[in-house]
Amino acid sequence: THFGFKSVPESMKETLVGQVFSNVASKYDVMNDAMSLGIHRLWKDHFIRAMAPGPGTKLLDVAGGTGDIAMRFLNYCKEIHGDNSAQVTLLDINPHMLNVGKKRFSMTPYEKTSQVTFEVGNAEDLSSIPSNSYDAYTISFGIRNCTRIDRVLDEAYRVLRPGGRFMCLEFGNVQNPAIAPLYKMYSFQIIPVIGQLVAADRDSYQYLVESIQQFPSQDRFAEMVKNAGFTVVGDGWENLTFGIAAIHSGFKL
Ligand code: SAM
């Protein structure tokens, strides 16, 4: 059966998204590589370089999933600054995804440090986290899955300290007329088939494609970031790979 996400009421979205990520948790990393031909790794590397965290940065990685951003963040701080004092809290609504992340960190030197902590939580309600308590907030391929984007942004603003930075990596809209139809074909024809072949789960990847279509375009999302109170530089976003993905960023000043 097809989830038919376009027609689900808002109140059900969270439940359905929960099912999707519980279904895919163990296959999540290999699926990302299969669907993006490995390109998501380059986007995430670029995302961390664009963030350029300084030594001792305290990061909240929301919808952190299996830890791609958290891991790159700590590696960057170590490799660039020789810094072992940076800290990341990996927060996700889905304990299955977090468990995959925990397992992955358990095989690294970070395990026995206090540099990484895990927390189950909802991006739309971070009430367990004090205001003004983080230097940086990241959300990578996560905000699209949330029901109320405005609440996510308000909470991001609240938990950041003044001067703190919000950064979001998310799928975008492809404007280039030569690329757009190809990308559309790949999304609708190929991705669900890869989902079926690699994860035996066509529906979850059908959901993925639909959720990408429905997410606001880069300029609209930048408006939402500004409406939450953030100060942006220039347009407020950077396109990656023809706008298939984009990085939005804003400062709490
Ligand atoms: N950030 C990781 C990455 O870039 O690979 C994981 C992204 S994964 C596509 C989306 C994640 O968002 C899932 O782990 C899912 O459980 C989480 N998620 C969905 N809705 C959420 C919410 N309301 N609050 C927190 N996490 C949420």
User: In this structure, which topology does domain 5-21+39-173+217-251 adopt according to CATH?
Assistant: Rossmann fold (3.40.50)
Phi-psi category of residue 111: left, alpha or beta, with phi > 0 → left and psi -120 to 50 → alpha: alpha
ipTM: 0.99
* Residue 24 CB–ligand 1 contact under 6 Å: no
Cβ of 204 closer than 6 Å to ligand 1, yes or no, is no
pLDDT digits (tens, 9 = 90+) for 132-166: 999 999 999 999 999 999 999 999 999 999 999 99
- Asked if 171 contacts 251 with a C-beta cutoff of 8 angstroms, the reply is no
Q: pLDDT of 86-105, one tens digit each?
A: 999 999 999 999 999 999 99
- Mutation to probe ligand 1, out of 21, 88, 167 (largest number of atoms < 8 A from CB): 21
The verdict on the CB of residue 228 being under 6 Å from ligand 1 is no
Q: Is 42 helix (H, G, I), strand (E, B) or coil?
A: helix
Among 37-41, 86-90, 92-96, 110-114, the least confident range: 110-114
Alpha helices by DSSP H, listed for 106-246, are: 149-159, 180-185, 191-199, 202-214, 218-227
